[in-house]
Amino acid sequence: MPDALPDDLAGAVTAAAAEGVLGRTFRALSIGIVSVVFLIAFEATAVGTAMPVAARELHGIPLYAFAFSAYFTTSLFAMVLSGQWADRRGPLQPLATGITAFGAGLLLSGAAGSMWVFIAGRAVQGLGGGLVIVALYVVIGRAYPERIRPAIMAAFAASWVIPSVVGPLAAGTVTEHLGWRWVFVGIPALIVIPLALALPQIRRMASGPADPDAPPPPYDRRRIRLALGISAGAGLLQYAGQELNWLAVLPAAAGVALLVPAVRGLLPTGTVRAARGLPSVILLRGVAAGSFIAAESFVPLMLVTQRGLTPTMAGLSLAVGGATWALGSYIQSRPRLEPHRERLMVSGMVLVAASIAVAPTVLIPAVPVWIVAVAWAFGCFGMGMVIASTSVLLLKLSAPEEAGSNSAALQIS
């Protein structure tokens, strides 16, 4: 029978377990990783404002869509790679590499003299973003007790609220007065402070493999090949979507042929049939995110084209959703609701489904426009509960040595 812990060490462990995310043990780590998410959120909401100006000045309007698809396709591959890397070596290396690549991609895009160089920078940035998001999940699983993981997930959601409101406005102001390049080259300088806070804490609390005494698992080359397939398939589908002729059917068919088997191979066995446990959690995440994002793409279009709202008013009518999303994520983090997490997820999905069902009623002239804004606010509240809860359950149901691969599957879904 192993010896008991010394009294002082046992007391320290007990004290750490009782702390919150801003307790002495976790404060620097929490501030550091939430700041990283905040800056990624700011970049995601800001660059869309500067991108049209960049494309025009670089004479790359015909290539404009590739600036978005380059980020998306490379991030898919990087998510799978990050999961393998974090399970094998711990989250520190993929996180540090990802943040470095993210910053390097921003600098490359900001210094670009042609649209193709700009797109290359976006691709490098996507690699970094994919590495970072999965590594952060592994950090949470390794460093935080299960009791306070819902709270750090809520903090991640809250870190998107201010950027979603301020990001486009700030980027527009910088672009107008200083130039679009400063939107890209300014963000890497801000990453230094959260890195200085987070990386030493990750090295202390979450570095290395899950079991230091066991030999590191080999890289799963099959998953790497499938990751390349999913990236290529997604890229072909996005390319086909930009072409307005029948020849687009060829890359679309090739994209589907690559994408479908790759996705099925990367998700846990039983995901498609909603098997009990982790597969159903990942499927629920995919259904919620996919349906909501698809609907969100069309709601502003309907408000502008069918009800005559200006783009600004259409955007403002949905802006409250960022706050209610964070509120939903906060609600799920309450300790007294932990025994009811499955019910929270069901309630969240009901709200999401209801908001999507209400959205098309804006096509009926007699329906007030504000009905859609209210419905969308409730839908975002439901998404906040569902997204955070699925993240918490994924870490709870994953073995430590599989947290990276499972986190990658959650993001891909």
- Cβ atoms of residues 260 and 361 within 8 Å: no
What pLDDT is stored for residue 213 in this prediction? 65
Same domain, 129 and 164: yes
Same domain, 242 and 352: no
Domain boundaries, position 239: 220-266
DSSP 95: H
pLDDT band at 376 (very low <50, low <70, confident <90, very high): confident
Same domain, 233 and 277: no
Same domain, 146 and 26: yes
In a domain, 314, yes or no: yes
- Cβ atoms of residues 326 and 158 within 8 Å: yes
- 302-317 residue pLDDT tens: 777 777 766 666 666 6
What pLDDT is stored for residue 351 in this prediction? 93
Same domain, 276 and 235: no
Domain CATH code at residue 277: 1.20.1250.20
In a domain, 367, yes or no: yes
In a domain, 245, yes or no: yes
Separation between Cα atoms, residue 263 and residue 241, nearest integer Å = 20
**Into how many domains does the chain fold?**
3
What pLDDT is stored for residue 403 in this prediction? 80
Statement: residue 16 has pLDDT above 70: no
What pLDDT is stored for residue 131 in this prediction? 94
Distances 49 to 59, 89, 176, 221, 279 between C-alpha atoms, Å? 17, 38, 10, 39, 37
Same domain, 149 and 298: no
Same domain, 146 and 244: no
In a domain, 308, yes or no: yes
Distances 295 to 111, 213, 220, 301, 328 between C-alpha atoms, Å? 35, 48, 36, 10, 19
In a domain, 7, yes or no: no
Statement: residue 13 has pLDDT above 50: no
Determine the average pLDDT of the residues in 120-129: 94
Same domain, 376 and 288: yes
Statement: residue 3 has pLDDT above 50: no
Q: Residue 171: how many CB atoms within 10 A of its CB?
A: 25
- 68-96 residue pLDDT tens: 888 988 998 999 999 889 888 889 899 99
Residue owning tokens 């996507």: 126
Same domain, 77 and 112: yes
